[in-house]
């Protein structure tokens, strides 16, 4: 039976939103003006049914008759200059196709063997050239990693194939050169590690299978094994405690009464209220996002959502966050290294991936930031986080027992994601986008939502002994880690596959998304299967936990893997690494008085690291689940940014959960110790400014670093020391974290690009009553504006103001964690007493940016008096974290409210929609609020059309 084709197109006269978006990209991102119009159509193909059934599906399922037309086996774009079709490559996860097959069965359409979907594009314009279409295709429409241009109609939609046989790798006879060649591109292990593997198999008297060598490689990858963070570190000739142990020790020493689980599970857990606990996890998805930003970002979000559900014995995911670092969207094409994607495309597609995954699952994305620096032009930083809630009695990591069943549930296994863990542990090169294309996946959020719902029912019925997700390494990591103390045996041929032809090692290592692994008592298996059927979730018994302390796997009765758990998890040799940070020396700009204050203020507000990110935020649903107590934006016109997100996760209760974060890519280039303190202070300040008790906050770290040579390892050493000192100075513990140490690009022409070292600190915690929090927008005219906190306005290095002058500088803000804690407690006390009308922390753009944002939210002006003796530029644009602008009643005394911390009245709110500043009785500037707002909004409006 022939393949049936259905095409669905927007009716004539109704805007084609996708076509308009592509036309915008063609004009603005590529600068091509020959294309006058773009029309798009959805193409659906079906195998195994006739034309009448295809028409039924089109009418009942695929087309909305109010605004769409459809055709069966005939074109719908007939008058375009050029028409082309783009589809996912065979084997790439197509969530829509899987949903169509299920829906067709629900509609009673019998015999459907396979379905697929793609996009058709019609380009209109008399002067379109072949070169134009080639550039549009390669830059916008087709990511060669996962997509292709359909030149010929497929003869079949059914993917066929026979699994390759398990191969034996003769490592025992390999020379050092051969071992390194084996590791190159796929395993990412060094010579010492390859030699340890060789010695192990010599000891047990045989060579490894491909399944065994791949499983060892993913378990020992930097991504999974944290080799640098566990290494013996030699600094200035003296050995220091390993990085990870320092962080764990600091948390243990804090002895914080709210910590329930730290560094032992998929997420960190703290005590909440009424017998509940809340948890958080933040991850990076830099490598896959660099080569396929939409799929990479989607699976980043999906992965941290699964980390939450895989915590304890199952948690509900409440919220999502995203923190991104890119090169400027207007970076010239010639500055983009070979094998890399343009940052304009990366930014839009990463945002789309996070948007689509969270929105489709009904998980609010309510906190985040976007940062820009030229050195992200080769590899972006894509950080995603998730937070959840679960009963406190179920928050401890479960442990399987011998005899428990290994049950996989959720999505099927395919080739997507293979080598994800090892790939993410290596540097990026001009070959990465080709060599590692299988490491990229396309997520299926609806599959994940059904899986989560089933798990939470099973949890509440006490059916789950232990749970984890198939993250990096797939079954190899999930089953291997769960069974590390007891042993496990699985039959790989039982795993449900997306298509035939996967070799056993591919089934073991695949990182196909939306899969979870459970340890279940055999007597509970029947009920679990019943729950899964009710939620349309596929569940399969893969094997059992054995008690023999080995990890073994079979395929069609043949043993394809049998490794000792002790060797797999503890055989990795501890690295010995030298670290020596050498401070950079950046020129300081001369102090030149501003020639045009109003222009300077607008340039600061329009700087990419200050400007409004509202066009991005509005793409996310931050109100779904009905828990939002403090949204990303508030104020009279809903355009005043807030510092943190606060949610009320328990219906009918006043309890709140706060989420915030801090990072600054520039400061760690100058001084990784003080730059890292700044990130921690910023994360906490955002929460404090919203009214949160610093004693009720937990921290998480994400280190995103270039490949750590001696100097960069020295910088990492200082950054970890800063985290430890922050814990000791404030009492706030780190309870989860992640390191990603591969953000270096090496081109075949010798080009080396290292990202600025990043420490992203995330903070989350509890609030007893959300009604006692505040937003950042000014509330009344005639009130006092107070600046609170310790700062040295001469410390300007790394500021936006310096960047506008073309400098970085060396004298960055230097913070004292102990002094910060005094400020945090004073500001919290002031808010909790009800004496602060508004509060906003100082970060990028300094007092000037914070003041403008508070005015935007209140839709009112402000009059500021700069103290005598202060350099006005430094006073307004200094970016010392841990300082706050607050609005207090006109008749209030700031020292009565803030106690003994530094605080001063710097001005008042006014009913004139103008921000004015004077010093020594002279007016420096009077700038209209609408001009500042326009400058602040413009950059992202140019990238994201609403």
* Residue 890 to residue 892: CA distance in whole angstroms: 6
pLDDT at 432: 42
First vs last C-alpha separation in the chain: 44
pLDDT at 940: 96
**621 annotated binding-site participant:** no
Prediction pTM value: 0.93
* Residue 301 to residue 517: CA distance in whole angstroms: 19
Q: Walk me through the domains of the chain, giving residue ranges and CATH numbers.
A: 4-149 (3.30.1280.10), 160-240+398-432+442-575 (3.90.650.10), 258-392+628-634+645-770 (3.30.1330.10), 587-620+774-946 (3.90.650.10)
pLDDT at 1: 65
**111 annotated binding-site participant:** no
Structure tokens at 292: 């396929």
Listed as ranges, residues in the chain with pLDDT below 70 are 1, 185, 417, 419-441, 946
Provide the angle, in degrees to the nearest 10, between the axes of the packed helices 597-605 and 929-943.
Answer: 40
**Within the chain, how many helices (H) and strands (E) appear?**
30, 40
pLDDT at 441: 62
Return phi, psi of residue 896, to 5°.
Answer: -70, -25
pLDDT at 436: 37
- Which H or E run includes 47? strand 37-47
What does the pLDDT look like over 524-558, one tens digit per residue?
A: 999 999 999 999 999 999 999 999 999 999 999 99
CA atoms within 13 A on the CB side of 419: 17
pLDDT at 910: 98
pLDDT at 437: 42
* Residue 884 to residue 850: CA distance in whole angstroms: 9
**513 annotated binding-site participant:** yes
**469 annotated binding-site participant:** yes
**671 annotated binding-site participant:** no
**116 annotated binding-site participant:** no
**737 annotated binding-site participant:** yes
Cα dist from 230 to 192, 195, 565, 726, whole Å: 16, 20, 19, 21
Residues assigned a catalytic role: 223, 285
pLDDT at 760: 98
pLDDT at 422: 41
**173 annotated binding-site participant:** no
What does the pLDDT look like over 397-430, one tens digit per residue?
A: 999 999 999 999 999 998 876 754 444 444 544 4
**283 annotated binding-site participant:** yes
pLDDT at 28: 80
Residue 922 CB burial class (10 angstroms; 0-12, 13-18, ≥19): exposed
Give the number of other Cβ atoms within 10 Å of residue 80's Cβ: 18
**511 annotated binding-site participant:** yes
């Amino acid at each position: 039976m022939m393949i049936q084709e259905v095409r669905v197109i927007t009716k004539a006269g109704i805007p084609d939103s996708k076509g308009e978006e592509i036309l915008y990209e063609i004009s603005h991102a590529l600068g091509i003006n020959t294309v006058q119009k773009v029309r798009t159509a959805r193409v659906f193909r079906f195998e195994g049914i006739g034309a009448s059934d295809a028409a039924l599906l089109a009418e009942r399922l695929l087309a909305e008759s109010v605004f769409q037309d459809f055709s069966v086996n005939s074109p719908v774009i007939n008058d375009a200059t050029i028409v082309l079709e783009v589809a996912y490559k065979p084997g790439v996860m197509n969530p829509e196709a899987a949903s169509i097959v299920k829906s067709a069965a629900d509609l009673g359409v019998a015999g459907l063997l396979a379905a697929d979907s793609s996009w058709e594009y019609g380009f209109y314009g008399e002067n379109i050239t072949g070169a134009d279409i080639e550039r549009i295709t390669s830059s916008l429409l087709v990511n060669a990693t996962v997509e292709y241009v359909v030149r010929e109609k497929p003869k079949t939609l059914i993917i066929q194939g026979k699994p390759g046989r398990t191969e034996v790798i003769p490592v025992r006879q390999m020379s050092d050169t051969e071992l390194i060649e084996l590791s190159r591109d796929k395993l990412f292990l060094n010579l010492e590690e390859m030699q340890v593997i060789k010695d192990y198999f010599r000891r047990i008297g045989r060579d490894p299978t491909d399944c065994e060598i791949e499983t060892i490689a993913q378990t020992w990858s930097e991504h999974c094994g944290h080799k640098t963070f566990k290494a013996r570190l030699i600094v200035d000739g003296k050995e220091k405690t390993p990085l990870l142990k320092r962080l764990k020790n600091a948390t243990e020493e804090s002895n914080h009464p709210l910590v329930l689980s730290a560094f032992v599970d998929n997420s960190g857990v703290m005590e909440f209220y009424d017998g509940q606990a809340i948890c958080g996890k933040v991850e990076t998805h830099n490598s896959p996002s660099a080569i396929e930003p939409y799929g990479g970002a989607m699976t980043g979000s999906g992965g941290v959502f699964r980390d939450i559900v895989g915590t304890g014995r199952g948690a509900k995911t409440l919220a999502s966050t995203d923190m991104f670092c890119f090169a400027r969207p207007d970076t010239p094409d010639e500055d983009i290294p070979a094998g890399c994607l343009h940052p304009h495309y990366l930014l839009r597609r990463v945002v789309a991936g996070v948007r689509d995954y969270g929105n489709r699952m009904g998980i609010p994305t309510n906190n985040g930031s976007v940062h820009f620096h030229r050195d992200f032009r080769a590899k972006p930083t894509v950080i995603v986080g998730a937070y959840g809630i679960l009963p406190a009695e179920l928050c401890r990591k479960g442990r399987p027992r011998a005899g428990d069943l290994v049950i996989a549930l959720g999505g099927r296994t395919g080739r997507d994601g293979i080598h994800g863990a090892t790939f993410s542990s290596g540097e990026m090169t001009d070959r990465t986008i080709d060599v590692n294309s299988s490491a990229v996946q396309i997520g299926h959020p609806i599959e994940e939502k059904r899986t989560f719902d089933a798990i939470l029912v099973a949890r509440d019925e006490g059916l789950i002994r232990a749970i984890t997700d198939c993250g990096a390494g797939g079954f190899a990591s999930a089953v291997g880690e769960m069974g590390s103390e007891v042993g496990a045996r699985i039959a790989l041929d039982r795993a449900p596959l997306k298509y035939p032809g996967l070799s056993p090692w591919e089934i073991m290592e695949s990182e196909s998304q939306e899969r979870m692994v459970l340890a279940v008592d055999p007597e509970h298996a029947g009920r679990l299967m019943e729950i899964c059927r009710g939620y349309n979730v596929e569940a399969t018994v893969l094997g059992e936990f054995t008690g023999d302390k080995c990890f073994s796997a079979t395929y069609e009765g043949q043993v394809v893997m049998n490794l000792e758990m002790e060797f797999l998890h503890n055989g990795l040799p501890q690295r010995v690494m030298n670290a020596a940070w050498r401070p950079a020396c950046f020129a300081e700009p001369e102090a030149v008085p501003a020639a045009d204050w109003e222009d300077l203020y607008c340039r600061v507000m329009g700087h990419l690291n200050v400007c409004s990110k509202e066009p991005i935020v509005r793409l996310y649903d931050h109100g779904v689940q009905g828990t939002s107590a403090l949204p990303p934006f508030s104020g009279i016109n809903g355009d005043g940014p807030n510092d943190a997100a606060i949610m009320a996760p328990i219906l009918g209760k006043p309890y709140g959960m706060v989420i915030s974060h801090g990072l600054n890519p520039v400061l760690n280039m100058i001084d990784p110790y003080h730059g890292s303190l700044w990130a921690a202070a910023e994360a906490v300040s955002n929460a404090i400014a919203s009214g949160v008790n610093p004693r009720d906050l937990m921290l998480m770290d994400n280190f995103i670093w270039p490949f750590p040579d001696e100097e960069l390892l020295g910088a990492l050493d200082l950054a970890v020391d800063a985290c430890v000192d922050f814990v000791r100075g404030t009492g706030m513990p780190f309870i989860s974290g992640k390191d990603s140490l591969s953000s270096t690009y090496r081109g075949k022409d010798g080009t080396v690009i290292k990202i600025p070292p990043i420490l992203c600190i995330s903070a989350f915690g509890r609030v007893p009553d959300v009604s006692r929090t505040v937003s950042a927008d000014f509330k009344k005219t005639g009130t006092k504006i107070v600046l609170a906190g310790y700062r040295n306005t001469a410390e300007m290095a790394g500021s936006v103001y310096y960047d506008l002058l073309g400098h970085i500088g060396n004298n960055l803000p230097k913070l004292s964690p102990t002094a910060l804690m005094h400020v945090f407690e004073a500001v919290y006390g002031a808010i909790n007493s009800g004496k602060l009308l508004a509060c906003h922390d100082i970060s990028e753009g300094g007092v000037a940016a914070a003041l403008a944002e508070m005015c935007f939210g209140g839709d009112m002006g402000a009059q500021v008096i700069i103290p005598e003796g202060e350099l006005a530029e430094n006073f307004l644009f200094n970016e010392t974290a841990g300082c706050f602008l607050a609005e207090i009643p006109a008749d209030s005394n700031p020292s009565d409210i803030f106690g003994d911390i530094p605080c001063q009245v710097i001005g008042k709110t006014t009913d004139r929609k103008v921000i004015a500043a004077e010093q020594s009785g002279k007016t420096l500037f009077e700038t209209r609020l609408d001009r500042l707002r326009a400058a602040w909004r413009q950059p992202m409006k140019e990238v994201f059309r609403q």
